[in-house]
Amino acid sequence: MIVAIDGPAGAGKSSVARALSARLRFRYLDTGAMYRALTWLALRQGIALDDVTSLEELARENPIEFDEGEGVTIAGHDVTARIREPVIDSSVPIVARHPEVREVMRERQRALGEQGDSVIEGRDIGVVVAPHAELKIWLVADPRVRAERRHAERDGITVDMTADDMRRRDERDAGNTHRAEDAIEVDTTSLSLEQVIDRIERLVRERVA
């Protein structure tokens, strides 16, 4: 079974997907981490981030792996911590915007999803990556709440600056953030993480039944 989780940044996709997969004992696939891993490898090898041909080849030759927890590996390197560094934050949007790279990554995401029960989160999961997912969730939240959540993960930046950054990101990512027609919307604005997980777990149990 595949549970696809989509939505804008700050809506809670990663936290929800991580906790849900742990509760259900499903594989957790963080598609954003895959682009980050590829970006890390490109920077390490000195590949220009606008060199689409080289990036596409790099992605095909170095499929990203996930361990049983949340570890991320590429080209034999455990990059779980490294892909969260500021240089990756600023560089990954450049890599992820290339359609050729996205197609290679989506092929890998589909292959990983076919290996067993999975919770897959990211952008365009329910529309492009896993259109046949048994359950599709579209997470949303009030823009201010989204900014406050993201602010809590960062140091040295105000909530207003975070809100502006997220607004620009929403505009930039609009082309890769589509809601599947059969997705169920869950507004996380006033819900705790536990409440969100409870709600989605009930939906999973209904599908299984």
DSSP string, the chain: -EEEEE--TTSSHHHHHHHHHHHHT-EEEEHHHHHHHHHHHHHHTT--TT-HHHHHHHHHHS--EE-SSS-EEETTEE-TTGGGSHHHHHHHHHHHT-HHHHHHHHHHHHHHHTTSSEEEESSSIIIII-TT-SEEEEEE--HHHHHHHHHHT-SS--HHHHHHHHHHHHHHHGGG----TTPEEEE-TT--HHHHHHHHHHHHHHHH-
CA distance 117 to 115: 7
Residue appearing with tokens 């589909």: 110
Contact 66, 112 (CB under 8 A): yes
Contact 41, 72 (CB under 8 A): no
Mean pLDDT of 112-119: 90
Please give the pLDDT value at position 174: 62
The model's pTM: 0.84
Mean pLDDT of 195-204: 96
Encode pLDDT of 6-65 as tens digits: 988 778 888 899 999 999 999 999 999 999 999 999 999 999 999 999 999 999 999 999
Please give the pLDDT value at position 173: 66
Encode pLDDT of 35-49 as tens digits: 999 999 999 999 999
Please give the pLDDT value at position 21: 94
Neighbours of 7 (CB within 10 A): 25
Please give the pLDDT value at position 118: 93
What amino acid is encoded at 56 in this protein? E
Asked whether the predicted pLDDT for residue 96 surpasses 70, the reply is yes
The lowest-confidence range among 92-96, 119-123, 161-165 is: 161-165
The more confident residue out of 176 and 95 is 95
CA distance 82 to 86: 9
Query: Of 111-115, 191-195, 199-203, which has the strongest mean pLDDT?
Result: 199-203
Please give the pLDDT value at position 171: 64
